[in-house]
Amino acid sequence: MVHSSRRGVLTALVVSAFAATLAQPAAAQSQTPTQIQWWHAMAGPLGEKLEKLAADFNATQGEYKIVPVFKGTYPEAMTGAIAAFRAKQHPAIVQVFEVGTATMMSAKGAIYPTYKLMADAGEPFDPKAYLPAVTGYYTDTGGNMLSFPFNSSTPILYVNKDLFRKAGLDPETPPKTWPEVEAAALKVQAAGVPCGFTTQWPSWVNVENLSAWHNVPVGTLENGLGGTATRLTIANPLTQKHWEALARWQKTKIYDYGGRQSKADPKFFSGECAMSIGSSAARAGILANSKFELGYGMMPYWPDVQGAPQNAIIGGATLWVLTGRPAEEYKGVAKFFGYLSRPEVQAWWHQNTGYLPITQAAYDLSRAQGFYEKNPGTDVSIRQMTLKAPTANSKGLRFGNFLQIRDVIEEELEATLAGQKTPQAALAAAEARGNEQLRAFEKANP
């Protein structure tokens, strides 16, 4: 027979244990972080660094878990996210390259603007902390940031210092103007190097940044930032002069075209070409795939153009937030964006990838850490972007169907370099065909 007081104690213990058992699933559930999918287009070493950013954020707290998902190339990631949105199987975050900006902005109802996301979540967010040349690309006419700047790059000049020494050139003084590039190319060729220079991303380098660097518009309405009624103006004296030079140089391999996107890289990696103009984010790939000492310089400019050089414009991508996800996910996205904005996080990303430090604080921290002193030339991209205050011609581009327009421009450049068209005829065709794409986009997005 159990004493009544003892029986009371046992009953209390049993009830307590039973209650604890019932509570376990709820407790376990509360400890399970909210998963947030992040679709991206970064493979290889850059993809690994992206995954580290997510893992590092996840380790700082237990409420949310960012889950990076590789979705192929930039166009594939963007079109995949749009299709998934229609099927209501989309992620909260998708990485979209800069040429997709107008397309994303036109997707009314699908986008949760970054400025509104951060305000709704009560997370600190100061757009003024970001570099103007970056924010200008991704803000609306009211100055509101629509997407979160993530991996921003700009074309810079890369130099094979070993080949410069072989040719009797000063490896610490890269050419600054296009005539100086031509002179350096002739000297390295005289020393036995097959090719003077090549370029990545042909339209980005030889039209878009060429124009901004010389403060010349690519299109009307502030390069499309002012509305979808914009039209291209690339058949102009500056671009024609530049394409005429490229066509002339191609004949003797002062310049040697290597293909679209980054397909020209092997020409520079192997020492076939002594110089290359490509993305600042190509630095890691060049260092990993070559055995020579690497030098850096700003993009060359034509010295007879008044006011040149102006400032470079960005490439790369931003993070867009899609609507239609649970509210809890958006709280986590806002915290993740806050984490990515930290100076130490931005500085790490910049120093390990070659992408721009998108905030002034991250640039200042990198400088204070001695990164630029230890790695001379790695600040070229930021100096290019901030060389002068952006103008209506140099703060960015926002053209609908721009992916197709880039293909048109590169087709016409290839026809020029192959001797099938004059630069004047090719640019006129590129402008006309590109404007057809713009009118189709305007019609589809009234």
pLDDT digits (tens, 9 = 90+) for 63-87: 999 999 999 989 899 999 999 999 9
Instruction: For residues 107 and 45, state if they share a domain.
Output: yes
pLDDT higher than 90, residue 31: no
Instruction: For residues 54 and 163, state if they share a domain.
Output: no
* More confident site: 370 or 18: 370
Q: What is the DSSP string of 305-334?
A: STT-------EEEEEEEBSSS-HHHHHHHH
Q: How is residue 378 written in tokens?
A: 């790695």
Structural domain boundaries, residue 135: 34-152+315-374
Instruction: For residues 308 and 323, state if they share a domain.
Output: no
383 falls within a domain = no
Q: What is the pLDDT at residue 7?
A: 40
Q: What is the pLDDT at residue 30?
A: 52
Instruction: For residues 260 and 204, state if they share a domain.
Output: yes
Residue 73 makes CB contacts below 8 A (sequence gap 6+) with: 41
Domain count, the chain: 2
Instruction: For residues 281 and 328, state if they share a domain.
Output: no
Nearest-angstrom CA–CA distance, 127 and 172: 37
Q: What number is the average pLDDT over the span 144-161?
A: 95
Nearest-angstrom CA–CA distance, 227 and 368: 41
pLDDT bracket for residue 14 (50, 70, 90): very low
Q: Domain of 360: which CATH number?
A: 3.40.190.10
The most distant pair of C-alpha atoms in the chain lies apart, rounded to whole Å, by 109
Helix (H, G, I), strand (E, B) or coil at 225: coil
Instruction: For residues 147 and 48, state if they share a domain.
Output: yes
Instruction: For residues 173 and 295, state if they share a domain.
Output: yes
Nearest-angstrom CA–CA distance, 214 and 210: 6
Give me the helices (H) in 34-73, please: 44-60
Instruction: Let me know if 442 is exposed, middle or buried by CB neighbors in 10 A (0-12, 13-18, 19+).
Output: middle
Phi and psi torsions of 147, nearest 5°: -135, 165
* More confident site: 64 or 45: 64
Closest CA to 68 of 85, 323, 149, 77: 77
Q: How is residue 331 written in tokens?
A: 């709280």
Q: How is residue 338 written in tokens?
A: 């806050």
pTM of the model: 0.86
Hey, which bits of 118-269 come out as E strands?
148-153, 155-160, 195-199
Instruction: For residues 177 and 204, state if they share a domain.
Output: yes
Q: What is the DSSP string of 347-372?
A: HHHHHHH-----BHHHHHHHHHTTHH
139 falls within a domain = yes
pLDDT higher than 60, residue 277: yes
Distances in Å between the alpha carbon of 439 and those of 25, 401, 402, 446?
A: 57, 10, 12, 11
* More confident site: 185 or 142: 185
Instruction: For residues 308 and 427, state if they share a domain.
Output: yes
pLDDT digits (tens, 9 = 90+) for 234-273: 999 999 999 999 999 999 999 999 999 899 999 999 999 9
User: Residue 161 belongs to what H/E stretch?
Assistant: helix 161-166
pLDDT higher than 60, residue 16: no
Instruction: For residues 292 and 410, state if they share a domain.
Output: yes
Share of residues in the chain with pLDDT > 70 (%)? 93
Contact between 137 and 273 under an 8 Å Cβ cutoff? The reply is: no
Contact between 201 and 97 under an 8 Å Cβ cutoff? The reply is: no
Q: What is the pLDDT at residue 75?
A: 86
Instruction: For residues 201 and 72, state if they share a domain.
Output: no
